[in-house]
Amino acid sequence: MMTYIVFILSVIFVVSFVGFSSKPSPIYGGLVLIVSGGVGCGIIMNFGGSFLGLMVFLIYLGGMLVVFGYTTAMATEQYPEVWVSNTTVMGVFLLGLLMEVMLVLYVLKSEEVGVVFKFSGVGDWAIYDTGDSGVFSEEIMGVAALYSYGAWVVIVTGWSLFVGVLVILEVTRGD
């Protein structure tokens, strides 16, 4: 099972995405976002990116999702919608689950799957340690490169976030 752990985690990832895309109340959306964040962290860590996985837990789940949870709790309604409360929501959720199950069976059964790109069955999901990563781990070097070669990206994304805050304040200010 451990060779196919990435495949299993990715299936849980997609299922939790289906869970919040079927639009229950935001509180329950936040719940599956926690699950998907944790599972995504697992996927990244299997590729050797322990630092990024930690960032997902700390910043995404522990920072952004906590703030999201608090604001949603302040704005919630008396009877929030669950997946089973509304026929539409349950129908969409079951449809998404069904499509994912069919895709998983297709991947498990056939040798090669070619939807937009080809990959050969479940074997492609297993991580082969090809070695030769040198002394330093690649993803730490990537993070370091973000602040040296990729300084422009940092400036642009930092400015986008700042303007995002300005825009949100401007939009919600009203008259």
Partner 1 sequence: MNPLIFTTILMTVLLGTMIVMMSSHWLMIWIGFEMNLLAIIPILMKKYNPRTMEASTKYFLTQATASMLLMMAIIINLMHSGQWTITKVFNPTASIIMTSALAMKLGLTPFHFWVPEVTQGISLTSGLILLTWQKLAPMSILYQISPSINLNILLTMAVLSILVGGWGGLNQTQLRKIMAYSSIAHMGWMTAVLVYNPTLTMLNMLIYIMMTLTMFMLFIHSSSTTMLSLSHTWNKTPLTTTLILITLLSMGGLPPLSGFMPKWMIIQELTKNSSIILPTLMAIMALLNLYFYMRLTYSTSLTMFPSTNNMKMKWQFETKRITLLPPLIVMSSLLLPLTPMLSILD
For residues 100-139, which are near partner 1 according to CB under 8 A?
116-117
Q: State which residue, 26 or 38, has the beta carbon closest to partner 1.
A: 26
Q: Which stretch binds partner 1 (CB under 8 A): 51-59, 101-109, 125-133, 158-166?
A: 158-166
Whether the Cβ atoms of residue 90 and residue 19 lie closer than 8 Å to each other? no
Q: How far is the CB of 175 from partner 1 (least distance, A)?
A: 5
Q: Which two tokens stand for residue 113?
A: 């799957």
Quick one: CA torsion of 88, 94, 99, 104, rounded to 10 degrees? 160
Q: What is the CA radius of gyration of the chain?
A: 20
Tokens of 132: 């030769």
User: Should residue 151 be labelled a site residue for partner 1 when binding is judged by CB under 8 A?
Assistant: no
Site string for partner 1, 67-96 (x = CB under 8 A): ------------------------------
**Coil, helix or strand for 135?**
coil
1-40 positions binding partner 1, by CB under 8 A: none
Stretch that binds partner 1, among 28-36, 38-46, 72-80, 153-161 (CB under 8 A): 153-161
User: Using an 8 Å Cβ cutoff, are 139 and 49 in contact?
Assistant: yes
